[in-house]
Chain A
Amino acid sequence: DVKVTQSSRYLVKRTGEKVFLECVQDMDHENMFWYRQDPGLGLRLIYFSYDVKMKEKGDIPEGYSVSREKKERFSLILESASTNQTSMYLCASSGGLLHFGNGTRLTVT
């Protein structure tokens, strides 16, 4: 079974903080994704990566950056957290079928 692990289940951060969300997959997948999910807006793609050090913007990249230094790890960075970034963040990886991690519920106060 594919295992996608997000480092934190819940996070509370203050406005203006730099926030790192970590994601690790154990299936040697080339493709990894970061989504956020908000009520009424569904899943929205922030960034994805198709190889080490390769990344592409998704639908809502503003205010976010990503890092992929190793194939198994894909990090989402909130450069300066704002209250409108309070959300559920979902990491996923794919080698043909997309599988999600357990999610990180981030609250920015």
Chain B
Amino acid sequence: QKEVEQNSGPLSVPEGAIASLNCTYSDRGSQSFFWYRQYSGKSPELIMSIYSNGDKEDGRFTAQLNKASQYVSLLIRDSQPSDSATYLCAVYVGGSNYKLTFGKGTLLTVNP
């Protein structure tokens, strides 16, 4: 069974701080990694993808991947109250069909 694990939280950070969200996965053959943001009552929205070891930055967001440790993280710099949401980690093992395995998500609360 391929698994993606996330701390369910809630993770609470003050406005302006760095929020760090973590994810581990069980399948060493995993190829692609994604972070989705989901506001309460809304559908998940893709915010980051990462495919190779190292860091990938997009605005205030940085995704980090360490395949040796089977670990992927999302850093949110200068956190804003509007970043308060559940963050889902998703992993693609390979093959066709682009079927992803999702973690259960981490609830982030940014306090003004």
Contacting B at CB under 8 A, from A63-108, are: 90, 94-103
Task: Decide: B43 and A42 in contact? CB cutoff 8 A.
Answer: no
The 5 lowest CB-CB distance pairs between A and B, nearest first, are A42-B104, A94-B98, A100-B43, A43-B102, A103-B43
The number of residues on chain B lying at the interface, defined by a beta carbon within 8 Å of a beta carbon of chain A, is 18
Main secondary structure of the interface of B (DSSP, over half): loop
Interface residues of A in 24-54 (CB under 8 A from B): 31, 33, 40-43, 45, 48, 50
Known: A48-B97, A50-B96, A98-B100. A42 touches B105 (CB 8 A): yes
Could you count the A-B residue pairs with CB atoms below 8 Å apart for me: how many are there? 42
In the bound complex, CA of A40 to CA of B90 (Å): 16
Known interface pairs A31-B98, A50-B96; A100-B45 also in contact (CB < 8 Å): yes
Interface of A: prevailing SS: strand
| Cβ–Cβ < 8 Å partners of B46 in chain A | 97-99
Q: How far is the CA of A36 from the CA of B86 in the complex (A)?
A: 16
B contact residues around A97 at 8 Å (CB): 34, 46, 49
* CA–CA, A94 and B98, complex, Å: 7
